[in-house]
Amino acid sequence: MHRNVLVEEIQKKRSYLTVGLDTDPDKLPLHIKELPNAVFEFNKQIIDATRDLCIAYKINTAFYEAQGTKGWQAMEETLHYIPSTHFKIADAKRADIGNTSSYYAKAFFETLPFDAITVAPYMGEDSIRPFLEYENKWAIVLGLTSNKGASDFELQPSGNELLYQKVLRTVSSWGNKNNLMFVVGATKASELSQVREIIPDHFLLVPGVGFQGGSLSEVSKYGMNKDCGLLVNASRAIIYAGNKENFASEAREIALQYQAEMSSLM
């Protein structure tokens, strides 16, 4: 998806909500668990209930890969069911030596029609480069994450700046605002002003709003740019809002609350 199309969808829907399809088979409503294609059926109903309120869906591939062939099939079916108007993210956190990364890129950009994939920058430019060679596809690089272990490396000094700042500054030169995004956790909202000093124009994928306690208003205040520049992800808070037969309508209610707040913040 081209950046202009993504920005147009955000403006049209007055939303920068990304729904995370981190679908755990053990957490499905009982009436869904009984179905042979339970994960896909659950995802299908979530998508139907939220598609007019969000601009992107993020599939965390671990939840599907853990189920083997059955899970991979459910992921493919889910991906193909997501409307073409929506930005489709593979939260797969790949990146390896160049030749291997080229096959990861082929898997998620050609065999599977994702628009973007999350990648880890630790191995350097040659591990990221293959993902940047696809037109209208995106590499979403881990920048400043919301997990406890972020302090082990990301927040450590590196010269006259912190390591995550060096990552943002260095990686941003490998591509451009049309093919690179960065992950910045919502629980790190206080650092968003510093992030924007380094990468003012890039989109940020922001997890951590919802169950992890991140503030949407704080993220928007410090992270938004002239194109909005934010994809704010909510997973469990939306998809597990209910666990009865009306789970999809419960999910819609939470998504609507996010969308309404986003509209007021734009």
The radius of gyration computed from the CA coordinates of the chain, to the nearest angstrom, equals 18
Return the closest-CA partner of residue 238 out of 259, 254, 260. Answer: 254
Can you tell me which residue has the tokens 């082990």? 152
Active-site residue, from 70, 93, 166, 177: 93
Separation of alpha carbons 114 and 137, rounded Å: 8
Please answer whether residues 189 and 222 qualify as being in contact, where contact means their C-beta atoms are separated by less than 8 angstroms. yes
> Catalytic annotation on 93?
yes
Of 203, 133, 124, the residue nearest 171 (C-alpha): 124
The answer to whether the beta carbons of residues 200 and 224 sit under 8 Å apart is: no
Report the length, in residues, of the chain.
Answer: 266
Q: CB within 8 A of 122, min separation 6: which ones? A: 95
149 CB neighbour count, 10 Å cutoff: 8
Q: Among all residues, which ones are annotated catalytic?
A: 93
